[in-house]
Amino acid sequence: MVKTVNKLGLITALLFLAACGSTGVIPIGNNLYMVDAHGGSAVQTASRSKKNVLIEAGKYCEARNLMMNMIKMKAYDGIPGQRFPHTELTFECVSIGSAKNHVSPDIKVEVEKLP
């Protein structure tokens, strides 16, 4: 009985960890990148996945002595029984001090709320 409970706990923990994740940074063009992250529960909002993609993109550019410039972000809240929350971020890495390092009115942020 104890071994069955331990196995069930391990399987549950692994499934939870598998449900939380990121694609990692994916090159999609000339100095253009995408990262997608999703949450571990359909009852969560997309706030955690938004935070995760921004941190991951920032670290990616910082490792290259550059700064992350957001191009577009789409965030989707979780809907129980339908989907987990997730966020898609498209960005570029620009030199620190570049004229692009400002909040552009062209940045598109979309958030789909729970019904």
**pLDDT 10s per residue in the chain (115 long)?**
545 545 544 444 434 434 458 889 999 999 999 999 887 766 677 788 888 899 999 999 999 999 999 999 998 888 888 888 889 999 999 998 765 545 554 555 555 554 5
Residue 14 lies in a domain: no
Residue 69 lies in a domain: yes
Residue 16 lies in a domain: no
The confidence score (pLDDT) of residue 12 equals 42
Residue 9 lies in a domain: no
Q: Which domain, by its residues, includes 71? A: 21-112
The confidence score (pLDDT) of residue 93 equals 95
The confidence score (pLDDT) of residue 105 equals 47
Say which residue the tokens 């598998």 belong to: 18
Q: Considering just the CA atoms, what is the radius of gyration of the chain in Å?
A: 17
Residue 10 lies in a domain: no
Residue 13 lies in a domain: no
Residue 83 lies in a domain: yes
CA distance 37 to 20: 8
The confidence score (pLDDT) of residue 66 equals 93
**Structural domain total, the chain:** 1
Residue 15 lies in a domain: no
